[in-house]
Amino acid sequence: MQRIGVFVCHCGTNIAGTVDVKRVVEAVKKEPGVVYAEDYQYMCSEAGQQKIADAVKNEHLTGIVICSCSPRMHEGTFRKAAEKAGLNPYLVEIANIREQCSWIHKDMEEGTEKAVILARAAIAKVMLNAPLQPGESRVVKRALVIGGGIAGIQTALDIADAGYEVDIVEKTPSIGGRMSQLDKTFPTLDCSSCILTPKMGEVNAHEKINIYTYSEVEKVSGFVGDFSVDIRKKARYVDMDKCTGCGLCQEKCPSRKTPNEFNRGLNTRPAIYTPFAQAVPNVPVIDTEACIKFKTGKCGVCSKVCAAGAIDYTQKDEIITREYGAIVVATGFDTINLDKFDEYYYNQSKDVITALELERLMNAAGPTGGNVVRLSNGEHPKNIVFIQCVGSRDVTCRGKSYCSKICCMYTAKQAMLLKDHYPDVDVHVFYIDVRTPGKNFDEFYRRAVEEYDVDYIKGQVGKVSEAENGRLLVQGVDLIDNRQIKMEADLVVLATAIEPNKDVRKIATMLTASIDNNNFLTEAHPKLRPVESPTAGIFLSGVCQGPKDIPETVAQAGAAAIKVVGLLAKDKLVTNPCTAQSNPLFCNGCSACEKVCPYGAISYEEQQVMDGGVRENRRVAVVNSALCQGCGACTVACPSGAMDLKGFSNRQILAEVDAICR
């Protein structure tokens, strides 16, 4: 005979404000099986938990239902409380009457009615709960960091410094990421390379860090503490052990027409190349689509000039399979495509550039040697217009609804640097708002306005076009003076919105990590768990989680690292006992479950079954509970209902539905 106890939480006024908790208590008392019900202000508090423990003992409860907040919040708390009182923790059910009820209702009548229904469903389910015992799983003491920008570098360094092995997988031929493309950094104006390259060197030299550049994650299986990852190490066609990094091959390569990705296509590069001089590793790769040898079979210049004999045209992609306890996503960002922003004349004019392109122009190692020129004619610009929020804070479908966060600061930076280098230029900035929260940030912006005389115009630009004299014509509005502005400019710089790296969808899918509408990875909790993905064992570092500047990225990278270290420091993890099991009597052996299982936990074997007195050999599904993560995909794929999930059995779910529809 079941003896169920129901505990209704007020959550202060969070629940009690919209749900008549006393009436819920009275209603559930009438439910069959319920022998005890009470309400309390904060069920999760020490006193609340004591009430649960007392009732379990005094009323000899066989199952309990807590009507409170989401199980994501306090299921663990209440399970522990039950366990302490001597009840199996899996005999606890949560009826979420806060997020799914009180918070979304305004009317007390409706809220109360729904709370009773949700409680009833949980009671129906708990009646069918069975005590479950969790097992243990191992922790592989190695972490994988996907992305070798400043976020990935910092996370890897912090994990490695704590004594754990780390592998970095970087898609491009070198680590360094976006930060390596920047000229100076705000708000201190120190040179980006000067502060980044020592870190790149440190990562390269660290005995606990292993870098796979020109490599991509291809497949991920397993689960927290025990992931198995296939890494595709793309063929470089250059032997990393032999290459001395002399650069002669790059100099002599006759194919020189490929747009240089590192310089945002502002100049070209050879077919054999390192993205930039300080690349780590300083070993070039051959771009087979540009290489004459690969296209025609004739050439081989690089091989001839290489004194080290490092060129190897026969190299093949290599798949490396390694195990990891934790995975950090640090895939960074790119600027959005501007094809839909024709009003800014970006695709039409060489003199309309993005801010990241300006970084390359300002950089001494950039395509113009640090000379900021009009790319149309090589002349120095006299009048420069910056346009803010190009695609940011844009609720139309062509832009991004969010603020890209870094643009106000880098625009102030670029404006000041330009004024520094070329005192004769005029700089105008069209903006919606100037947003500069951050340590020493507003002071930085004010300096641009007050000391450098940068002309900030509150208003937007409607159109950029070509004037008859070959200059650009910028038409906008000044909202403060309420006037139309028409000005000629030599250079227009667009503060283009940033978006997560295109590959993040593929990676998130492999990791079963959730992403939001803008492709940013979602945190486990936006305030309290900002560097963890809701998927256990997956951590977030840098802009893949949301727009960030460098100081924030580095801080978050360190936070992700300590979360990883906290996980890797454990010897064993407690596994979820809510795993799938198959009933051989109902199993057709059709393999549907095996195909949908993301963890490879299902296999098939010939088993002798007794069905209605008939002995028969059948092909039936078997679940390896050590691998099963309880996702339930198999239970819905199974046409005959043979597959069932402990703790969430088909019967339990139907009992809940029945209780709701009653």
596 binds other proteins (CB under 8 A): yes
Minimum CB–partner distance for residue 517 and other proteins (Å): 8
Among 321, 509, 518, 603, contact with other proteins (rule: CB under 8 A): 509
With CB under 8 A as the contact rule, the residue among 189, 194, 654, 660 that binds other proteins is 654
3-state secondary structure of 188: coil
Query: Using the rule CB under 8 A, is 465 a contact of other proteins?
Result: no
Q: What are phi and psi of 344, to 5 degrees?
A: -90, 0
Q: Count of residues binding other proteins (CB under 8 A)?
A: 24
When the beta carbons of 100 and 588 are compared against other proteins, the nearer one is 588
Instruction: Report the residue number, 438 or 589, with the smaller CB distance to other proteins.
Output: 589
Give the one residue of 128, 590, 622, 626 binding other proteins; rule: CB under 8 A.
590
315 in contact with other proteins (CB under 8 A)? no
For other proteins, which is the closer residue by CB, 347 or 640?
A: 640
Q: Is 619 among the residues that bind other proteins (CB under 8 A)?
A: yes
Six-digit token string for 169: 């997988």
What is the largest distance, in Å, between two alpha-carbon atoms of the chain?
98
Q: How many CB atoms lie within 10 A of CB 657?
A: 12
Q: 322 or 618, CB closer to other proteins?
A: 618
As a whole number of angstroms, the distance between CA 100 and CA 73 comes to: 13
**128 binding other proteins? (CB under 8 A):** no
- Give the containing element (helix H, strand E) for 26: helix 21-29
Nearest Cα neighbor of 311 from 241, 233, 232 is: 241
Q: Residue from 403, 637, 647, 648 that binds other proteins (CB under 8 A)?
A: 637
The answer to whether residue 457 forms part of the interface with other proteins (CB under 8 A) is no
Phi-psi region of 101 (alpha: psi -120 to 50; beta: other; left: phi over 0): alpha
Minimum separation from the CB atom of position 404 to other proteins (A): 23
> Residue 322 belongs to what H/E stretch?
strand 318-324
The Cα 381–Cα 426 span in angstroms is 9
Least gap, CB of 188 to other proteins (angstroms): 41
Question: How many helices (H) and strands (E) in the chain?
Answer: 18, 34
* Rounded Cα–Cα distance for residues 329 and 317 (Å): 23
Using the rule CB under 8 A, is 647 a contact of other proteins?
no
Q: Spell out the residues 6+ positions from residue 437 whose beta carbon is closer than 8 angstroms to its own.
A: none
DSSP characters over 523-578: PSBTTTBTTB-SSTTEEE-GGGSS---HHHHHHHHHHHHHHHHHHHT-SEEEPPS-
Rule CB under 8 A: choose which of 318, 470, 611, 660 binds other proteins: 611
In the complex, minimum distance from the CB of residue 120 to other proteins, in angstroms, rounded to a whole number: 17
Q: Toward other proteins, which CB reaches closer, 204 or 650?
A: 650
Nearer to other proteins, 440 or 591 (CB): 591
Question: Could you give the CA distance from residue 374 to residue 493 in angstroms, rounded to a whole number?
Answer: 11
Site residues for other proteins, window 556-585 (CB under 8 A)? Answer: 585
Only one residue has tokens 């078997």, namely: 622
Q: Binding to other proteins by residue 505, rule CB under 8 A?
A: yes
What is the rounded CA–CA span in Å between residue 379 and residue 419?
A: 16
Residue with smaller CB distance to other proteins, 50 or 588:
588
Q: How far is the CB of 601 from other proteins (least distance, A)?
A: 15
For helices 71-84 and 46-58, angle between their N-to-C axes, nearest 10 degrees: 50
> Quick one: which segment of 283-291, 358-366, 558-566, 632-640 binds other proteins (CB under 8 A)?
632-640
Can you tell me the distance from the alpha carbon of 615 to that of 63, in angstroms, rounded to the nearest whole number? 39
Q: Does 587 participate in binding other proteins (rule CB under 8 A)?
A: yes
Q: Which is nearer to other proteins, 50 or 512 (CB)?
A: 512
Cα Rg of the chain, angstroms: 31
Instruction: Work out whether 399 is an interface residue with other proteins (CB under 8 A).
Output: no
Question: Interface with other proteins by CB under 8 A: which range of 33-41, 403-411, 503-511, 525-533?
Answer: 503-511
* C-beta of 103 vs 604, nearer to other proteins: 604
Please state the separation of Cα 622 from the chain's center in Å.
34
Residues that bind other proteins (CB under 8 A): 505-506, 509, 585-592, 595-596, 604, 611, 618-619, 637, 639-641, 650-651, 654
